[in-house]
A and B are shown apart, each in its own frame.
Chain A
Amino acid sequence: MSDFMKSPFGSSAAAPSPDMQARKEAMMRNLRNEMALHSAQELINKTNEKCFLKCVTKPSTSLSGSEETCLSRCLERYLEAFDLISRTYVSRIQRERLDSPSA
């Protein structure tokens, strides 16, 4: 996978061949997809765990209507929390970068 990093291959000044260009782009696309998938997976696991804990307090033979309502609201709120925290964290990072540009 990381063969290309170690290669001491020569410095051809010529523009990359269309084939190489395509392979590079495919590699980037794959990595991005992989990361998005991983993040989605994590979110699914977390919501499952948190919402089960909150909504299904006494597991019975099937999910009740009120448990399902709770689960779907819980899912929506968790995603909202993720979004809110993401925005808060990112703006904090930006703020701190402005305060100390060296960091």
Chain B
Amino acid sequence: MAEPQFDQTTQKELATFLEQEQRQARLQESIHSYTSMCWDKCITGTPSTRFSRTEESCLVNCVERFLDTSLFMVKQIEQLRTRQ
């Protein structure tokens, strides 16, 4: 690149920005994956003009329980490890 380098302050600012955006991208990625997974689990019928209350609470519970599951699994693995 023929353009002059960024000065140090700008470099730092860009690095921080990049970190933030990467975090944001990971968050987005998780949301895409949870939506896909929970859609398959909760929306079993033909889509109508609005969600039923059951579908809506299933979607919410689905995310919450998935996160609980991942915490639970970490603990289980930890236990397995100490038992050895």
Interface set of A (CB-CB < 8 Å, partner B): 3-5, 7, 9-12, 14, 16, 20-21, 23-24, 27-28, 31-32, 35, 38-39, 42-43, 46, 50-51, 54-55, 70, 73-74, 76-78, 80-82, 84-86, 88-90, 92
Contacts and interface: CB of A to CB of B under 8 A. Distances in A.
Contacts of A27: 14
Task: Report whether over half of chain B's contact residues are helix, strand or loop; otherwise say mixed.
Answer: helix
A32 B67 CA distance: 28
Interface of B: 1, 3-11, 13-15, 17-18, 21, 24-25, 27-28, 30-32, 34-36, 38-40, 43, 46-51, 56, 59-60, 62-64, 67
A81 B7 contact: no
Contact of B6 (A4, A77, A82): A4
Contact of A73 (B6, B27, B47, B60): B47
A101 B63 CA distance: 22
B19 to A, nearest CB: 11
Nearest to A74: B47
A48 to B, nearest CB: 12
B59 A81 contact: yes
A90 B63 CA distance: 11
A9 B8 contact: yes
Contacts of A74: 47
Candidate in B7, B14, B59 with the most chain A CB atoms within 10 angstroms: B7
